[in-house]
Chains A and B, each alone.
Chain A
Amino acid sequence: NAGVMQNPRHLVRRRGQEARLRCSPMKGHSHVYWYRQLPEEGLKFMVYLQKENIIDESGMPKERFSAEFPKEGPSILRIQQVVRGDSAAYFCLAGENTGELFFGEGSRLTVL
């Protein structure tokens, strides 16, 4: 799944700090999805973005979480005032109308 870059791969934060996770899809991929995978659980949809637009954020908590995908630059998932329950792997997925899926390697957030 080369072409979808996520960073950082691992991030450690203390409770109350902010976490910023970045996703850079391949050039030409204008659809980005963020999924969260809690330990021992499946992938849960968070948000679907296109360039400069949030299409569906129904899976994202209303408080503390935000996402953007600007015209230039990576998509950012931002978690403010992190809590231990935010510890998870966050995957970025880029897709196009062809149905092909491209996954990033994931960003693993640990909140101490």
Chain B
Amino acid sequence: KNEVEQSPQNLTAQEGEFITINCSYSVGISALHWLQQHPGGGIVSLFMLSSGKKKHGRLIATINIQEKHSSLHITASHPRDSAVYICAVTGNQFYFGTGTSLTVIP
């Protein structure tokens, strides 16, 4: 079993839709990260969370420490949001989810 599980693995949405990607983890953590990777591109850190909620533009990330669960929301999705979104946690080491591949269709 992976320490970090993401769902869904693949997601296709129409432009403008509200999108949610989920992440569950099984280890003790000091922080949770949401990362974005465009095809063939580098990895960009979107959020680092240890509690509560953070918002940046159309992106919102929440974490529930008790339930060991985090969600990444994208409001008013746009084709340029198409990317792989990766959940990672900082525990004894860094653990990564396998990613959610998002495609937003115009």
Contacts and interface: CB of A to CB of B under 8 A. Distances in A.
Interface stretch (B13-21, B70-78, B89-97): B89-97
A69 interface: no
Given A42-B86, A93-B94, A99-B90, A1 B48 contact: no
Contact of A101 (B40, B48, B97, B98): B48
Interface in B27-68: 30-31, 33, 35, 40, 42-45, 48, 50
A54 to B, nearest CB: 13
Contacts, number: 51
Question: Which of the listed residues B44, B90, B97 has the most CB atoms from chain A within 10 Å of its own CB?
Answer: B90
A72 interface: no
A1 B42 contact: yes
Interface stretch (A22-30, A75-83, A103-111): A103-111
B96 A35 contact: yes
Contacts of B83: none
Contacts of B44: 1, 103
Q: How large is the interface on B (under 10, 10 to 19, 20 to 34, 35 or more residues)?
A: 20 to 34
State the main secondary structure of chain A at its contact with B.
strand
B90 A42 contact: no
Given A43-B96, A56-B93, 7 more contacts: A42-B96, A42-B99, A91-B43, A98-B31, A99-B31, A99-B90, A104-B42
Interface of A: 1, 33, 35, 41-43, 45, 48, 56, 91, 93, 95, 98-106, 108
10 contacts: A1-B43, A35-B96, A42-B86, A43-B96, A91-B42, A95-B94, A100-B48, A101-B45, A103-B42, A108-B40
